[in-house]
Amino acid sequence: MTERTERAVGGAVERAVHAATHAVLSETADGRPGKAGDARPGTAGTRPVRAAEGASAGAAGRPSRAAGREDRGRSVPAGDALGEVTQPSRAAVAGEHAGAAGAVRGAGGAGRPEAEGASAPAGDAARPLRLGTRRSKLAMAQSGQIAQAVRELTGRAVELVEITTYGDTSREHLAQIGGTGVFVTALRDALLSGEVDFAVHSLKDLPTTQPEELALAAVPPREDPRDALVARDGLTLDRLPRGARVGTGSPRRMAQLNAYARSHGLQIETVPIRGNVDTRIGYVRSGELDAVVLAAAGLSRIGRSDEVTEFLSVDFVLPAPGQGALAIECPASNADLVAALAELDDPYTRAAVTAERALLAALEAGCSAPVGALADLSGEGQVVNEMRLRGVVGTTDGATLVQLSTTGPVPTSHGDAVALGRELASEMLAKGAAGLMGERVL
């Protein structure tokens, strides 16, 4: 990473996080149990977009890894790639949430150019920016939101370049094919080859090691981090019948759902499943399963929150590290683009997910390990001054959980956030967490 890029990413983000500690307290996940229709925590940043019909995960071809390459899709203008777009305003995407964007732009003066000054190299200024995205309905929806925000920031057209990843086409369980990182490799290859200019990921899918050639330019305001139950007949978890079959592709969810069932006298069977949102909810509609558990943020982004029968409290089901957040990545060598995209960064979300991912990395656990983590912010009156980080590791049958938390001052730098995550991971390892995760990433 060049010195110029380090200034664009590191300096701007650290000043932003420091400034944000004095900003007005934003709405954060409060851990209360929710039913469909309850106010969702952390939803101020983006609004749902309905993607084009038929754009679902796994829609294109066989796993391309067998042929030694990833399949590439056609480039389409961002506006045409989506059906009906609910266009977020710049304020909504860049930090309407607690005035964070204002704090970011006002922090330090120099070090983060305004969008008008963060132009692309002269030879490229006329061409559209190419945004790499997976082809699933959810990926297209969230990439469409970011495309619109970047268009408003830079004044340049943005086109979506659809890319099929091995994770989209393989029907094997994620733990067998490398965890959620399999959704990222093809997009990163496209960035490094120059096929696309930037990419949008679900942050929980990113491996915790960041390649030097790529910059995590922005983490926009987080959506609701909770998990959500979609059950037959409008049922909640406590009202599911004895022996109910609950589908999820996540060992983390299995561990916590089974632990909750054990402690509340419920009898459920957790069933491993794969597939896009339509496929998973279809298992419930067909009667094959009694319920499925999905990320609330994903359902919100595709306009399907009304199908949720219960938002699961983070007090008994912690989300995956980074769940509900997006990651915008681009080549580290393109300092102008790094600086422009950094306008979308939310310092609250950046600090929280950095601590969560540091915990995951320190546990030496992969993306598919049964690890949950959530950092939330609190304060006195209207001033944010404290962060609480919670973590959990458990066996998938729910028989054993290690669940701990730590609280400290709001991190004022990347290093402070990492230190908080590592501190909690160390305590969890001392309580036996290593023996509950299966194979660790060494």
Three-class SS string for the chain? CCHHHHHHHHHHHHHHHHHHCCCECCCCCCCCCECCCCCCCCCCCCCCCEECCCCCCCCCCCCHHHHCCCCEEEEEEHHHHEEECCCCCHHHHHCCHHHHHHHHHHCCCCCCCCHHHCCCCHHHCCCCEEEEECCCHHHHHHHHHHHHHHHHHHCCCEEEEEECCHHHHCCCCHHHHCHHHHHCHHHHHHHHHCCCCEEEEEHHHCCCCCCCCEEEEECCCCCCCCEEEEEHHHCCHHHCCCCEEEEECCHHHHHHHHHHHHHCCCCEEEEECCCCHHHHHHHHHCCCCCEEEEEHHHHHHCCCHHHCCEECCCCCCCCCCCCCCEEEEEECCCHHHHHHHHHHCCHHHHHHHHHHHHHHHHCCCCCCCCEEEEEEEEEECCEEEEEEEEEEEECCCCCCEEEEEEEEECCCCHHHHHHHHHHHHHHHHHCCHHHHCCCCCC
Q: What is residue 174's predicted lDDT score, i.e. its pLDDT?
A: 44
Residue 98 contacts by C-beta under 8 Å, 6 or more apart in sequence?
A: 20, 23, 24, 25, 26, 27, 44, 348, 384
169-173 own/partner pairs: CB under 8 Å, 24+ apart = 169/58, 169/60, 169/61, 169/62, 169/63, 169/64, 170/63, 171/58, 171/274, 172/274, 173/249, 173/272, 173/274
- Catalytic: which of 71, 168, 197, 205? 205
pLDDT for position 40 = 43
What pLDDT shows up at residue 357?
96
pLDDT greater than 80 at residue 126: no
Query: Is the pLDDT score of 170 beyond 60?
Result: no
Q: Are 38 and 126 in contact (CB under 8 A)?
A: no
Whether 168 is catalytic: no
Q: Write the pLDDT tens digit of every residue in 379-407.
A: 877 788 899 999 999 999 999 999 999 99
The confidence score (pLDDT) of residue 438 equals 59
For residue 88, pLDDT over 80 is answered with no
Mean pLDDT (the chain) is 76
Q: pTM of the full predicted structure?
A: 0.72
